[in-house]
Amino acid sequence: MPELPENDPVVSKSYALHYAVAMVLLIASLFWALWDEGWAQRPWIAYQKQWKERYGAFLKTAKSKSARSVSDLEKDSDYQKLEQAARQADAEAKPHRDALQKQIIDLNAKILAVQNVFTDKRAYANAIT
């Protein structure tokens, strides 16, 4: 074991005062940063609260107006014709869509089977090497 030097600062001095001062400064800067972020840099908090209340009231009226306009739109004969055409196109495309979905399910099953075998073989090869 090597010998320690006579004036080794780690052994011969106490750094407790230095640590205490640094800790007090860090805690003081933490509280200053929290105060600065929470209140000092935000003099507009009262305006934000007022704006939030007013905009919330506006959105409630806009929502009721938009609900009325949607119901008016749904009663329109052109909209009902388009809705009926969309339902008919969906019904015509359903058999083809179902066939494609069945193919996707079959391919996923095949990929899963191959992937399991591949994973086992790769693990075996890695174990060998």
Output 1 or 117, whichever has higher pLDDT.
Answer: 117
Quick: pLDDT tens for 33-47.
Answer: 999 888 788 777 888
Output 64 or 103, whichever has higher pLDDT.
Answer: 103
* pLDDT above 80: residue 8: no
Res 109: pLDDT: 93
| Residue 102 included in any domain | no
Cα–Cα distance for residue pair 24/20, rounded to 1 Å? 6
Which segment of 5-14, 68-77, 84-93 scores lowest on mean pLDDT?
5-14
| Residue 123 included in any domain | no
Output 76 or 105, whichever has higher pLDDT.
Answer: 105
| Residue 16 included in any domain | yes
In the chain, the N- to C-terminal Cα span, in Å, equals 42
* pLDDT above 90: residue 9: no
| Residue 63 included in any domain | no
| Residue 119 included in any domain | no
| Residue 55 included in any domain | no
pLDDT band at 90 (very low <50, low <70, confident <90, very high): very high
* pLDDT above 90: residue 106: yes
For 94-125, b/e burial (b = at least 16 CB within 10 A) is eeeeeeeeeeeeeeeeeeeeeeeeeeeeeeee
| Residue 28 included in any domain | yes
Calculate mean pLDDT across residues 106-114.
92
Give the domain range for residue 32. Answer: 7-42
Question: Considering its fold, how many domains does the chain have in total?
Answer: 1
| Residue 68 included in any domain | no
